[in-house]
Structure 1
């Protein structure tokens, strides 16, 4: 009997630590998934830098700031943060030493993250991320705009505390999608217009400005409401799911900062979460846009222009540099090569994204470890400001797009702000 008890005790002694270790591993793994949902890697990892060590430059109306080291290094990272410190930084934008973070850190969205996800995220960053000793870089913001105390007032006015609460009358999938879009996914940080104090004009679907598109860091993040022309009105839930998993569909392809979202976040989401996000977005009524008739494809006039490119300088540039990928019909070869006819980004009144992507091309879209075969090349060294303005004006007028013209000054300003040298 004694031998049996000793054997049982020994077995329990071995089993209990193994069970605890397994539970810890499961929590860390869950936290890694939550970090994917929050796209933490994209902002807190600089090109050719180490994961989560910070240093990525971000442009704000006040000047350039740099993302911080969020590895568990005790001296330069967050290794000395308690879970309470971590949650406070995430939800209130206040660092361990008490200084306020700039709202480029999407803490107004992360305020909605529930306690279970926050706990898992903390476990991951403390135990699943390699520490990196890399000092944080001070922002390039001149006095007095670099003073942080006004951010305390900013929080009083604009920060809404409280984790996401399920909306009555909505099903599980809709609420899950709303939680991911509004909270961890912080989609409004880019896709909602900002106010005079750099605040998002709405934080959920109760505000008419929510996800109606916004200009940020040289890109215009698209309208995600049901607006027919510049939004998702013509997209199905499956179109949305395909875009989130692959970065391309029959309507558009990812570029700019959305490329890193696809690369580091949405493609790693499980199908249930992707479907929930698509369902929530498709439930949003049309908002934003700039009026006008609903888009309907018409290739006739554009085809005539391309048959006689010498009579239209934009058509001439298009025929020489664009037509082999995007086609005479403007429909491209989706999903590998984006359509231009009816593309919401082409129809958008603000042409910033089109100018930027034409000058600077696209980053590598990598899905399942395989880079997209036909990235948009950089035309800054090849075409002058007038040529780019001409071809974008042609594209925005063609195939019944009926979008406003692009001016050479628009291109010149973007070239200067993005350091796109000729």
Structure 2
């Protein structure tokens, strides 16, 4: 019996040491800093570029919806051009991700950051402090011209002093960072200088992957690291947007049996976006996407219809869960 107790005591001691080593490693390594070149891109006062930037910010890139408080995001969704003061909270397994104030305020916004620092966030997912940005923004391969357009619009805003608490990672989130599972992601190649704005598959691919982030929500992903874990556009994430209201993003490939838009005409696709939100808590930024031009919407449709069909059925994109009544 003494030998058994001694053995179990030894095993418990080993386990405790392993756990302490693991915790110590995470706490020492999670706050890693990264480096990458600063893109040589600068904001402009050109009115055409500023207008393009505003269109992207409030339209396909939907920056204004994410970089606002929850209440203001609803107003943006309803068509108001509110300044990007930050404050939205995205609660994932890694922690609470908070969007930053993007007005040029010197104290709480991007006023002290250089254009290169802001562009590096977009291109390489590295903050000005060297920390990696959780992969929610798909702008790594955005064209130089569009990055400059967004920079130009952001600099043209009125500065707003609005403090946003820093992002807070859970212990599991810190572990993911410590082991490099969340790390900066740069361009897949050399980003284009510019891109032709026309209703083509090429422009649609650019919008769906590098601007509007259709691929980010309509693809299977590991919510701890943000990694893609299945065929892109074949269905995606489950969102709990309100107590009892859950959504699953549908299959956007042209599979004739399971693709949600496989039998839609191009005009029907455009009309659906013009109709806006059908479900109150839908995570789709319908207000922003309703602002998109016909050219952009037709380009996305043509790209999606050219994808390889993937059979992946989603029974319901919106469903209600039973919620226990509050006494």
Larger % of helix: which?
1
Q: Deviations over 1:134-179 (max 9, x none)?
A: 11223353336347854865336x655335569xxxx971101110
* 1:190 maps to 2:222: no
Aligned residues: 263
8 Å CA contact 2:93, 2:223 repeated in 1: no
2:166 to 113, 138, 142: 138
Runs of 5+ in structure 1 lacking a partner? 1-21, 203-207, 291-347, 356-410
2:70 aligned counterpart, secondary structure: coil
Structure 1 pair 247/196, CA: closer, same or farther in 2 (3 Å)? closer
1:164 & 1:234 partners in 2: Cα distance?
Answer: 33
Q: Deviations over 1:103-161 (max 9, x none)?
A: 2x32xx2101010110111010011x2222111223353336347854865336x6553
2:146 aligned counterpart, secondary structure: helix
Q: Which has the higher contact order (CA 8 A, sep 6+)?
A: 2
Structure 1 pair 23/42, CA: closer, same or farther in 2 (3 Å)? closer
Deviation at 1:95, TM superposition (A): 1.2
Runs of 5+ in structure 2 lacking a partner? 1-43, 73-81, 241-246
Task: State the partner residue of 2:141.
Answer: 112
The 5 A counterparts of 1:368-383 are none
Which shows bigger deviation, 140-149 or 62-71?
140-149
1:227 to 247, 255, 275: 255
1:38 aligned counterpart, secondary structure: coil
1:217 aligned counterpart, secondary structure: strand
Structure 1 pair 161/124, CA: closer, same or farther in 2 (3 Å)? same
Q: TM-score with structure 2 length normalisation?
A: 0.70
1:42 & 1:281 partners in 2: Cα distance?
Answer: 24
Structure 1 pair 27/196, CA: closer, same or farther in 2 (3 Å)? closer
Task: State the partner residue of 1:40.
Answer: 63
8 Å CA contact 1:44, 1:52 repeated in 2: yes
The 5 A counterparts of 1:16-415 are 24-35=46-57, 36-49=59-72, 51-103=83-135, 105-106=136-137, 109-127=138-156, 129-143=157-171, 145-146=173-174, 149-150=177-178, 154-155=182-183, 160-163=187-190, 173-195=200-222, 197-201=224-228, 209-218=231-240, 219-231=247-259, 232-247=261-276, 253=278, 256-259=281-284, 261-264=285-288, 266-290=289-313, 348-349=314-315, 351=316, 353-355=318-320, 411-412=321-322, 415=323
Q: TM-score with structure 1 length normalisation?
A: 0.56
Larger radius of gyration: 1
Q: Deviations over 1:209-236 (max 9, x none)?
A: 1111112432211111112344221212
Deviation at 1:43, TM superposition (A): 0.8
Q: Report the aligned-residue RMSD.
A: 3.0
2:210 & 2:71 partners in 1: Cα distance?
Answer: 28
2:183 aligned counterpart, secondary structure: helix
1:281 & 1:227 partners in 2: Cα distance?
Answer: 11
